[in-house]
């Protein structure tokens, strides 16, 4: 199956702003979404308690940034997303919660220009699984490394695979069971069809190894449940 184009992904999220403006309902298909959000933002605060500048890639309606602001107020927030409606909602929500500067950047994180050595914290919530080939993955991890200041952290919450195909199939089957338990077989098929069409996830080990390869000094696993994980690295 041909994977979704960037335009197709953008158009889908353009139509789904309301759902993604609420963590409880917007992320119901993501295992342990609230827990992962809690873990990566609290970890970021503990690593860099006096952070000033935050970059949120694939920010959606701003949930991750809003949670980060409950831990470190008045951050300067740079929000990157494909979807203009998502960015508009994120601006509305985030600007009311910080005294810092809020900067919107519409576009593909692979392509948008951003200043190097400028961010204390980078959050990547449910976005990197849209990357495609190995070159994409290495290029993005290298870019995110360069964007961070020394001592800064990259924190990720995302859909992942296993190292072996047979275990990836098993965890996807278990995930399908979870979806069916939520909303029935039709919902299961709908979400798994999106996964097949849109996503190109990599394993947790793959991403941790790649972060080390591009220069991160420390990598950390905060949480893993089947095909979802919260993890990160420190520059």
Contacts of 184 (CB under 8 A, 6+ apart): none
**53 near 6, Cβ under 8 Å?**
no
Report the distance separating Cα 132 and Cα 142, nearest Å.
15
- Phi, psi of 104, rounded to the nearest 5 degrees: -100, 135
Residues facing 156 on adjacent strands: 124, 231
**The pLDDT of residue 15:** 81
Residue 27 pLDDT class (50, 70, 90 cuts): confident
pLDDT: which is higher, 21 or 68 = 68
Residues 92-134 have pLDDT tens digits of 999 999 999 999 999 999 999 999 999 999 999 999 999 999 9
Residues 184-228 have pLDDT tens digits of 999 999 999 999 999 999 999 999 999 999 999 999 999 999 999
- Reported in sequence order, the residue ranges of the chain that DSSP labels E, i.e. its strands, are 53-57, 76-81, 102-106, 119-125, 148-159, 218-225, 228-234
Residue 11 pLDDT class (50, 70, 90 cuts): confident
**The pLDDT of residue 26:** 53
% of the chain exceeding 70 in pLDDT? 98
**The pLDDT of residue 8:** 86
Mean pLDDT (the chain, rounded):
94
**The pLDDT of residue 1:** 62
Residue 28 pLDDT class (50, 70, 90 cuts): confident
What are the structural domain ranges in the chain? 6-162+201-234
Residue 18 pLDDT class (50, 70, 90 cuts): confident
Residues 62-94 have pLDDT tens digits of 999 999 999 999 999 999 999 999 999 999 999
Q: Shortest CA distance to 54 belongs to which of 147, 119, 145, 144?
A: 119
Q: Shortest CA distance to 179 belongs to which of 222, 223, 227, 224?
A: 227
Domain 6-162+201-234 has CATH 3.20.20.70: no
Residue 76, SS3? strand
Q: Shortest CA distance to 207 belongs to which of 157, 146, 167?
A: 157
Residue 24 pLDDT class (50, 70, 90 cuts): low
If you search the block for the tokens 């995930």, which residue do you land on? 175
Q: What is the pTM (predicted TM-score) of this model?
A: 0.95
Q: Is the pLDDT of residue 19 over 80?
A: no
Exposed / middle / buried, residue 71 (Cβ in 10 Å: 0-12, 13-18, 19+): middle
């Amino acid at each position: 199956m041909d994977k979704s184009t960037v335009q197709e992904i953008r158009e889908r999220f353009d139509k789904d702003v309301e759902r993604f403006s609420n963590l409880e309902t917007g992320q119901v298909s993501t295992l342990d979404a609230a827990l992962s959000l809690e873990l990566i933002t609290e970890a970021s605060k503990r690593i860099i308690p006096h952070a000033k500048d935050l970059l949120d890639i694939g920010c959606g309606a701003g949930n991750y940034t809003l949670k980060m602001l409950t831990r470190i107020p008045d951050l300067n927030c740079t929000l990157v997303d494909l979807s203009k409606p998502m960015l508009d909602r994120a601006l509305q929500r985030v600007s009311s919660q910080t005294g810092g500067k809020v900067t919107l950047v519409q576009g593909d994180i692979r392509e948008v220009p951003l200043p190097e050595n400028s961010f204390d914290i980078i959050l990547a919530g449910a976005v990197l699984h849209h990357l495609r080939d190995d070159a994409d993955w290495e290029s993005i991890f290298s870019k995110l490394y360069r964007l961070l200041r020394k001592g800064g952290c990259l924190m990720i919450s995302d859909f992942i695979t296993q190292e072996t195909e047979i275990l990836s199939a098993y965890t996807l089957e278990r995930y399908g069971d979870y979806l069916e338990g939520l909303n029935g077989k039709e919902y299961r098929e709908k979400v798994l069809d999106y996964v097949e069409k849109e996503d190109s996830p990599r394993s947790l080990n793959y991403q941790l190894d790649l972060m080390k390869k591009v220069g991160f000094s420390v990598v950390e696993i905060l949480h893993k449940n089947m095909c979802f994980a919260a993890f990160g690295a420190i520059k």
